[in-house]
Structures are given as C-alpha cells and as structure tokens.
Amino acid sequence: MSVKTRVLVVGLGLIGASFAKAIKQAGVAYVLGYDRDPAVPGLAIDTQVIDEAVADLSSVTSVDVVVMAVPVMAIAGVVEQIRHLVADLTVLTDVGSVKGEVVRSVAGVLGDLPACFVPGHPIAGGEKSGVLAAEADLFKHHMHILTPLDNSSPAAVELLTGLWTACGAEVVAMTVQRHDEVLAATSHLPHLLAFSLVDTLARESENREIFKYAAGGFRDFSRIAASDPTMWHDIFLTNRDATLSILRRFQSDLSLLEQAIEHADGDLLRTVFTRAKSARDYFTEILESRQK
C-alpha cells in the first residue's frame, strides 16, 4: 500500500475521526476530512486527526479513497456531493450498520454500482461522540466487516483491507444480507432492548428516583442506551425486516419465560439460564482470544 494514498473521510464523528486518526498515525495515507459542521475539520487539524481540512466537497479534485462515515440515511446526500470523484476512485466505502440500505442509496444516486464500491462496517464504537472523542486504537482487536458486491474490484477490496488492517482491525467478509441479519441479532436487538428498558423505568418512576437504587447489572445492561438516538432511529427504520425477525423470536422466547415464572417451572428457567451462561462463556473466550 502506498503511503501516498489519499483518503477523504466524510463525517468526523467518533468512527470517522478515529479511522482518520488511526491511518494518519500509521503513516499509510494522507487524510482529508470533511464534516457538515464547518468548525469540526479545524478541530480535527488541531488535534492531529487529519492532514487537510475540506470546507466544500465540490472543491475536492483528486483522492483515491472516500469513506462515508455518516448516518445511513445521510449516505445518498453524500454520494450526490462526491459523485464527481467516483469515476477516478479506487475505493468508495462506508461505515454504516445497515448494508442493504447503503447499497440501495448508492444505486439510487449513481444508477449502476461502481466497481470501486465496497460497503463496510467496523464492529467498534463507544458512547462518546464527536471529533474530540477520536481514538486511534478504537478498532484494535475488533472486526471490520466488508460486504463486497458481485462487481466490487479486487483492487478496491485489497486497498480497503489494508487500510483497516493498519487500524488494527481484523477484516472479515460476508454478504450484505448476512451482515444485516447478524447485526440485527447481535447489535440492533440489544440496543432496542436497552432503550426500551431505560424508557420504561424512567416513565414509571417519578423524577427517575428508581435509578438511585440500580447496581452494576443495570449499569452494564443499560450502557448502550446512551448511544446516539438519531443514528439508532436510522438503523431501525432501514433494517426493519431483519430486526423484526429477531425481535419476534425474542418476544416468543420471552413469553416462555413469563409462563415459566407464572407456573413456577424451575426446570425451564434453569435450562435457559444454563444454556445462556454456556453461550456467554464461549463469547468471553472469543473476546479474550482477540486480545492476544
């Protein structure tokens, strides 16, 4: 990978800024940065997140890679703004949590999907947001999922794999459909449950007094309810089918637990809890192996 690779990051929130900072520090690219908030690129320069600030996307004339680090429902608008660059790009990619909608958005603007287009999604994040929260090691020991399309060029996949590897990520590939199904189960549903639980308790407790008595279990489970509401609003509206499928399966299993408690069916409760503990222990082993 050439150190002269020019990468334009559109959207300097936590993910976009962390990616920019990581590849800049790794010395694998010259990084340009743009954000809809005109003050943000200047902050990104001051904090050494990017090499060059971009005030207007139409002024960019030559880059090798464009990374769209914006909410899923904003992708179409970004593609419209950078469409003059697409013909000469080696890579056009994104970091969205719903790949099907991203593919539809790009196709809706450009008509045909270009060979440079390789959708992607880093399995990393945090509750803090904005360019000042950027962490160069945010993706270290985390997966980055690529969902190459039938016409994605091998050169695009190779370059993009190299950039994310330079961030410390483990790059894996799967289909767009499989990605959206997997993320609905492992990310979207947990966020929905956390949002729902915190909202339920907040509405039922006058002045939210109940939170004074919450301990570590509630803290751990509810942590992700502090995530960006706008981003998650977009995710649930754009990954409806996969999310509804896993949500309805969960509702069915939850009804069984409700009945077990109502009828004092300790055997069923013990079976479910034991199976869940075994699965969680296996997940812990996977996480620990990635840290080695």
Same domain, 100 and 221: no
Average of per-residue pLDDT across 71-94: 96
Same domain, 101 and 240: no
Quote the pLDDT of residue 211. Answer: 81
- Average pLDDT of every residue of the chain: 92
Please, which pLDDT band fits residue 1 given cuts at 50, 70 and 90? Answer: very low
Same domain, 117 and 207: no
Quote the pLDDT of residue 206. Answer: 64
Last residue of a domain, which of 174, 205, 226?
A: 174
- Asked if residue 128 belongs to a domain, the reply is yes
CATH code of residue 261: 1.10.3660.10
Quote the pLDDT of residue 121. Answer: 97
Same domain, 218 and 240: yes
Q: Are 113 and 103 in contact (CB under 8 A)?
A: yes
Percent of the chain with pLDDT over 70: 97
Same domain, 97 and 190: no
Same domain, 215 and 250: yes
Q: How many domains does the chain have?
A: 2
Domain of 105 in residue numbering reads as 6-174
Please, which pLDDT band fits residue 127 given cuts at 50, 70 and 90? Answer: low
Last residue of a domain, which of 174, 204, 238?
A: 174
Same domain, 145 and 164: yes
- Asked if residue 159 belongs to a domain, the reply is yes
Same domain, 145 and 233: no
Quote the pLDDT of residue 126. Answer: 73
Quote the pLDDT of residue 3. Answer: 53
- Cα separation, 231 vs 264, in Å, equals 41
Residue 199 in this model has a pLDDT that exceeds 70: yes
- Asked if residue 1 belongs to a domain, the reply is no
Same domain, 114 and 141: yes
The model's pTM: 0.86
As a three-state string, the secondary structure of the chain is: CCCCCEEEEECCCHHHHHHHHHHHHHCCCEEEEECCCCCHHHHHHHCCCCCEECCCHHHCCCCCEEEECCCHHHHHHHHHHHHHHHCCCCEEEECCCCHHHHHHHHHHHHCCCCCCECCEEECCCCCCCCHHHCCCCCCCCCEEEECCCCCCCHHHHHHHHHHHHHCCCEEEECCHHHHHHHHHHHHHHHHHHHHHHHHHHHHHCHHHHHHHHCCHHHHHHHHHHHCCHHHHHHHHHHCHHHHHHHHHHHHHHHHHHHHHHHCCCHHHHHHHHHHHHHHHHHHHHHHHHHCC
Last residue of a domain, which of 158, 174, 190?
A: 174
- Asked if residue 94 belongs to a domain, the reply is yes
Same domain, 155 and 196: no
Average of per-residue pLDDT across 1-22: 89
